[in-house]
Amino acid sequence: MPSPASYSRNLAKAASRRLRSPLIAQLGVRHNSGNPLSKPSPTEIPNTINEKTTHFGFKEVPESLKESLVGSVFTSVSPKYDVLNDSMSLGIHRLWKDSFVSSLLPKLPPSMHSPDGNREWEPSFKCLDVAGGTGDIALRILDRAREKYGNRDVQVEIVDLNEGMLHEGVKRVANTMYYNTPQIKFTHGNAQSLPSHIADNSIDLYTIAFGIRNCTSLPAVLSEAYRVLKPGGRLGVLEFGKVNNPLFREVYRQWSFSVIPLMGQILAGDRDSYQYLVESIEKFPSQAEFAKLVQEAGFQTGELREGAAWTDYTNGICTFWRGVKA
């Protein structure tokens, strides 16, 4: 394993390349005090000799460094993130996300007013989409509420730790009918310690799609989700799972480790980041293990089995976990 000193040098180099996005500032993305994205300089790296470690892909790293390392990955991949998702999944990730949103969003009453006018507008249904920087899930929620139920009283707040991902989301929303409306907003923040303006018992629906496996502490993320949800509020986690067919599992694993990093190199000029993403899938808990963590955070999930606490998509390549705050 590379030493903490080598990690610190890599982090310092990455920090010197990162520029603050003017578009993010221009369009009013909310920032926390301080900058959890900023990378420590070599002199700021803590003494990690006795520090607890965690995984960064297949590497063991000090917990204090994982957030910065993951930040470097997503800063690198953000400009091509959606293109590579389509290429790597042959577009199937769109079907997974559609099913995820349609399963979570309850029936909503039609709106009496549009949020586009000058009248005072208050959302009747609040969603928090965490690690949702590109806006993929948020826009699906808003579209389904409008198209299925004629409802424009839904508000989605996107929270993401990576400014590159937020930048891509802002660009995407700028081309939709939701641009410059209070239905969608972007916030720079950490899933493990959500921004202070997101109050206890204030959220109707919490979603996190393909993001939680990159967090240092899964229990901390789930605890924060439980805190901000209203009683009866819904949790939805979409993430890569464990393939349940042994033969298909090995084929998928071989394909993942040989093809996905190569695609990253060809399409984005970045093999290492996609090697990490593949390794992070391998390190994520099994369906039952993660469902147990959801229960331990206080959520009601039903039985710890497929079809109750979770739903597998495409033989378990992707999994949707659900929970309800008691």
The response to whether 190 counts as a known ligand-binding position is yes
Cα separation, 177 vs 181, in Å, equals 8
Task: Collect all residues with Cβ–Cβ distance below 8 Å to 138 and sequence separation of at least 6.
Answer: 127, 129, 132, 156, 158, 169, 184
Query: Is 134 annotated among the ligand-binding residues?
Result: yes
Encoded tokens for 1 = 């394993």
| 126 exposure class (CB count in 10 Å sphere: 0-12, 13-18, 19+) | buried
d(CA 135, CA 132): 6
DSSP state of 109: P
Residues 242 and 282: their CA atoms lie apart, in Å, by 8
Q: Given CA atoms 184, 185, 186, 191 in this order, what sign does their dihedral have?
A: negative
Residue 23 tokens, joined: 């578009």
Q: Report which of 224, 136, 238 is spatially closest to residue 184, judged by C-alpha positions.
A: 136
Q: Which of 123, 122, 159, 127 is nearest to 140 (CA)?
A: 127
**Inter-residue contact 55 to 208 (CB < 8 Å):** no
Assign 112 to helix, strand or coil: coil
Q: What share of the chain is helix, strand, coil (3-state, %, to 5)?
A: 45, 20, 35
Q: Please count the other Cβ atoms lying within 10 Å of the Cβ belonging to residue 326.
A: 9
In total, the chain counts a number of residues equal to 326
* CA gyration radius, the chain: 19
Q: Which two tokens stand for residue 16?
A: 């010197």
Give the annotated binding-site residues.
134, 160, 190-191
List residues forming the annotated binding site for S-adenosyl-L-methionine.
134, 160, 190-191
